[in-house]
Chains A and B, each alone.
Chain A
């Protein structure tokens, strides 16, 4: 059974650029959630994808967008990067209908994004 894998592990971007982060969900999981963890803070929910559609969103602007693919993997896209977007981005996969309280809500190791 494979876990949740995220790529890349680190990257550096310039303010104003666009970035794409990737997440491969755990085998058998069909729902992916993305979180942003700024330095010294707890993770904050960005959005969740199920059946290739966004089905929940936190307090993040539209320049944060995502995709989910038929194999349940997911992308997080951020346009017009700002310095405050520097953070660790975590994805979590799960089975639809179970949520975090169900069995196997699993986090990846994250992508560290630095915006300069």
Chain B
């Protein structure tokens, strides 16, 4: 079984500040990890994914995440927040299986103030 825990249902930052969204995972097998973004009234857009290659993963829109096995973490960061980053962010995990599905965290709403 696998699960993810996202710490903080809401995170507020100022425009230009560092964004840090936290995700810890639990998995009995080597995990594949994902961050998705959801804008209001829209579906899910993949930001980045870890698939056992490099532990530091770079995604779209300047986001990146680092897989830390010792800490069972996969935190999402962006050096400088932009107003357009305001959205809900979901961490998700799956196993290395062709027919596997995603298990999502509850999400973190990122609020960006001017």
- The chain A residues found within 8 Å of chain B, CB to CB, are 4, 31, 33, 35, 40-45, 48, 50, 55-56, 58, 90, 96-102, 105, 107-110, 112
Interface of B is mostly: loop
Given the interface pairs A108-B43, A109-B43, the reply to whether A101 lies near B94 with Cβ below 8 Å is yes
A-B contact count (CB 8 A): 70
- The reply to whether A48 and B43 contact each other, CB–CB distance below 8 Å, is no
- The reply to whether B42 and A96 contact each other, CB–CB distance below 8 Å, is no
- The reply to whether A42 and B51 contact each other, CB–CB distance below 8 Å, is no
Bound CA–CA A27/B19 (angstroms):
35
Bound CA–CA A33/B9 (angstroms):
26
Contact partner, A43, options B45, B49, B98, B102, Cβ 8 Å? B102
Quick one: which of B32, B44, B100 has the most chain A CB within 10 A?
B44
Number of chain B residues whose Cβ lies closer than 8 Å to a Cβ of chain A:
27
- The reply to whether A45 and B43 contact each other, CB–CB distance below 8 Å, is no
- The reply to whether A107 and B32 contact each other, CB–CB distance below 8 Å, is no
- The reply to whether B44 and A101 contact each other, CB–CB distance below 8 Å, is no
Given the interface pairs A42-B90, A101-B94, the reply to whether A55 lies near B43 with Cβ below 8 Å is no
- The reply to whether A101 and B32 contact each other, CB–CB distance below 8 Å, is yes
| 8 A-B pairs whose Cβ atoms sit less than 8 Å apart in the complex | A31-B99, A42-B90, A42-B106, A44-B104, A45-B103, A48-B101, A98-B98, A100-B101
